[in-house]
Structure 1
Amino acid sequence: MTLDALRLEVPDIRGDSEIAPAQIAERLIAARRLEPEHGLQQLLGLLFTLNRSGLTLLERQRALQSFSEEYRHYAVLTAYQQAPSALFVRLCSELAIGFKRLLLQILQGRQPSLPHLAWCLYMAQHFLAQQLLRHYQLYQEPPAALWRDSHLLYWIGEHQQCLDEPVAAAFQPKPASTLRGLYQQMLLLALSNPFHLAEGECLTLFGALAPLAGLARLQPWDEDDDAEGPIVDLSESQACLAFDQPIEGEPDNLRRFELGALLIALHEPAPLQSTLERQLLERVRQHWLGRQQRRHERAEFTGQCSLVAGLPAIHAQLLDKLPQRTEAQIVDASAGGARLLCNADAGVHLLVGQLVLLLTNGTPTLALVRWRHQGGEGLHLGLRYLKGLPRPVWLRRAPNAQTHPGVLQSTPAPGNGWHHGLWLPNGQFAPGEHLWLQLASVHNQAILPLPASNLETASVTRHPLHLA
């Protein structure tokens, strides 16, 4: 399935609006004068009509901003009730529809500015989050379309590169301040076993997650990555795949929900966090990893190590040229990876997705930075080990052309063969391009067409190779 903004669930336009833009403000003022339930009914009826009427982009945007102010008014009244009314839940749904309709108008028009697009995506996601939250308050299963649209809004933000654009939105309970944080706030809420929360705890948990949710990361799925944690299929109608559910979706639609930095941050001092919020987060965190056993047993110990960061530096290290290293302390480790603690100043080079070489007293180990968190003790890093022998290679576009460094990762295959993965910087070569490859210990060059990558991070790309 190819994700497409036009798949957003919005009702059909029935015709041009019979309500003049100037009349909207008058009707909203009149609705406020009524009893709250009747006023909410009038508000909802007016929004329902406008969502199915043809409006210009500016008319719709101004109307939705006015309705958002009315939503704040009724949200305050709802906060004093044990459970939201069905009308209020419907208002959240209609506001989400309105902002999705506005988003389609923005995407179908001229190239929008990044802040404008981020704001519209955020507002649509916010009201989907409110719809989700209110369903959980009522101990009801949210509609399947809610997750389809939420995944799609995240996907659009990912492709438009506005996931981390800050948005100022004064709502209660407090949402995260970016599209990434807000979407992950929803995922974490869904993973927190919400139907087992006591009355009122769902709102408290949602607010407690606001400053933390952005620390998690959705990373490209890789079938060789055997880490525990939730898997999100952006084409599915559910928050995350069940832990016993087979992974059958298209790889481009799959994301692994990396919680490492978030789990570390839960133990950091948080002066603005109440005791109730702290206790609630501690209680629900066990559900985020599905209570499953770790695939690899973790051992806690203190040990020193060095890191060589970045493909050029790793290439130089493998040739014994002694590039710059970062000293670190291993806090715990398993067969699949390790958690390190190093000086905060090292964070400039040790970004998520960076290729590193871990140097201990044993054999050097190739690894990827899985997550990072800046805390009071320093910079915490989560590493994913890349099993296999790392070797330096050179690549050329012609036999005598300029050399480019690469790293070949080789692991034994069943029988007598080998699996090879060629690590290159992002964007240096295009798939299908014919390259000359030379190992450090071999004088001959092998010519090969560069296959499509099977793993890409923000820094490096891995291409599977079949070498004789």
Structure 2
Amino acid sequence: MTLDALRLEVPDILDGEAVPLADLNNRLSEARLLLLDQALQEVLGLLFRLNRSAMTLLERQRALQSFSDAYRYHARQQPVSDAPAPLFLRLCSELAIGFKRLLLQILQGRQPSRPHLAWCLYMAQHFLAQCLLRHYQLYQEPPPSLWRDSHLLYWLAERQECLDEPVAAAFQPVPASTQRGIYQQMLLLALSNPFHLADGESPILFAALAPLAETGRLLPWDDDDESEGPLVDLTDAQPCLGYGQQPTGHPDYLRRFELGALLIALLEPAPLRTAEERQVLDKVQQHWQGRQQRRHPRIDYDIPCHLISGLSAIHAQLLEQRPGRAPAHMLDASPGGAGVLCAADQAPSLAVGQLVLLLNEQSAPTLALVRWRHLNARGLHLGLRYLKGLPRPVWLRRAPSAQTHAGVLQSTPEPGNGWHHGLWLPSGQFGEGENLWLQLAGVNNQATFPLPASNLHTPEVSRYPLRLT
């Protein structure tokens, strides 16, 4: 396979007429007065027709600039950390289509200026990056065409020598400012195990990568090169070749993603980097140089089971109060965890980092953490990490007769040393060093203790190590 701009995925030109350009800005302004879903529907309808209509290069460019302004406005109306509306994802996709079609018109015309060509390549790549980000926010696999077009845009920018041409684009979350930067920002996001990220962490990571991404370099592939950086096949429909996957593409289209300078830049002082960005970068950088192999082999299953999600519901189940439970199927399991499939509408209660209790007829109730999730046509796929030990319901109080708070005590025997306990509480409910009273179910006495530092923390729950007599 050879790379060519004509391989960019764009729809056919239809015979219907687009909205007259003289009325376009008025229609876009009127859409700002509507509710968000209605506004997105109106803007998307206008853009859909424009992308399938014959227009001169200048007409299309001016129209797309107006749609880009509308995109910025409507993007501000919904928090970046929230799961995007389906119409917003479609708007990103249509904007990418619009700029890809504009790029084809530029390349088919007279010799374009480098800044003009760089701007168009960048805008097409930016909206593909937005599609990628929004898919990961929804825990959905991006379509293969997204990566085919992204690789092709990078290759075109490489051939036209405008990879490092700066482009001023005021978007949120912040993208890198060059074609090289935003493409490598996409690669790093995809390499960061995005389905393991908690809700709202994908946009934080995307913004944190913006000033770093340009320091990486895609180098020509050398068969004798023994470096371990990810390998990119520009003709493939995936971000990078998988762990242990041998390259089969033509050497001209293979690139080794050299991350040495980026990893050094990651350690340098960055006063503008927020604490949230530092935390998520620390979490994902281990994945950038190849996927780690499983610690335990997994065995395929097809076992009906149930999930009880959230600390308060687990507490109620342990007290035999029969809270609501989600039906599911265990697809595979190992000593360390399991893969589970449940209905897509369970996604709001099963965020990454949520504590769950796994119930099935073949084993005792098992406490687990949601490590990753992925949504597709079959439903919501979850990766669970088992938390070994006996779960027991407990109550916490700030004073002997104060209001009770539900907790779960995870107890594991230690040979010759009694029991090791982990106390699960909602994240942020209590502070380190705070004196608490703990009462076990069926026990009248209360034990007092200062809350230690957490040794496992997620956005949903925290675990505190305890020694109880």
* TM-score interval (norm. to shorter): 0.5 to 0.7
Deviations 1:374-403 (Å, cap 9, x if unpaired)? xxxxxxxxxxxxxxxxxxxxxxxxxxxxxx
Deviations 1:123-150 (Å, cap 9, x if unpaired)? 0000000000000000000010000000
Matched with 2:287 is 287
Between 50-59 and 275-284, report the one with greater CA deviation: 275-284
Deviations 1:223-278 (Å, cap 9, x if unpaired)? 00011110000000000000221211110010000000000111100010011111
Deviation, 1:31, is 1.2
Deviations 1:56-90 (Å, cap 9, x if unpaired)? 00000000000001101111112266210000000
The equivalences for 1:142-153 within 5 A come to 142-153=142-153
Matched with 1:106 is 106
**Distance between the aligned counterparts of 1:80 and 1:33, measured in 2?**
21
Matched with 1:154 is 154
The AA in structure 2 aligned to 1:268 is: E
Deviation, 1:19, is 2.2
Deviations 1:179-234 (Å, cap 9, x if unpaired)? 00000000000000000000110000000000000000000000000111100000
Counterpart secondary structure, 1:150: helix
Matched with 1:57 is 57
Unaligned runs of 5+ residues in structure 1 are 294-468
**Distance between the aligned counterparts of 2:81 and 2:173, measured in 1?**
14
Deviation, 1:17, is 3.2
The AA in structure 1 aligned to 2:286 is: Q
**Distance between the aligned counterparts of 2:4 and 2:193, measured in 1?**
30
**Distance between the aligned counterparts of 2:87 and 2:170, measured in 1?**
22
Change (3 A) 1:281 1:28: same
Matched with 2:429 is none
> Does the 8 Å CA contact 1:220/1:254 hold for their aligned counterparts?
yes
Residue identity (%): 71
**Distance between the aligned counterparts of 1:291 and 1:32, measured in 2?**
44
**Distance between the aligned counterparts of 2:252 and 2:78, measured in 1?**
40
Deviation, 1:282, is 1.3
**Distance between the aligned counterparts of 1:30 and 1:291, measured in 2?**
48
- The alignment's C-alpha RMSD in Å is 1.2
The AA in structure 2 aligned to 1:183 is: Y
The AA in structure 2 aligned to 1:201 is: E
The AA in structure 2 aligned to 1:71 is: Y
Counterpart secondary structure, 2:78: helix
Task: Kindly indicate whether residue 26 of structure 2 is the aligned counterpart of residue 26 of structure 1.
Answer: yes
Matched with 1:78 is 78
Matched with 2:213 is 213
Unaligned runs of 5+ residues in structure 2 are 294-469
**Distance between the aligned counterparts of 1:191 and 1:291, measured in 2?**
9
Task: Kindly indicate whether residue 172 of structure 2 is the aligned counterpart of residue 172 of structure 1.
Answer: yes
Matched with 2:119 is 119
Between 79-88 and 179-188, report the one with greater CA deviation: 79-88
The AA in structure 1 aligned to 2:284 is: V
The equivalences for 1:436-451 within 5 A come to none
Matched with 2:270 is 270
> Does the 8 Å CA contact 2:19/2:46 hold for their aligned counterparts?
no
Task: Kindly indicate whether residue 131 of structure 2 is the aligned counterpart of residue 131 of structure 1.
Answer: yes
Deviations 1:333-356 (Å, cap 9, x if unpaired)? xxxxxxxxxxxxxxxxxxxxxxxx
> Does the 8 Å CA contact 1:16/1:54 hold for their aligned counterparts?
no
The AA in structure 2 aligned to 1:118 is: A
Change (3 A) 1:270 1:160: same
**Distance between the aligned counterparts of 1:291 and 1:264, measured in 2?**
20
TM-score (norm. length: structure 1): 0.62
**Distance between the aligned counterparts of 1:170 and 1:97, measured in 2?**
20
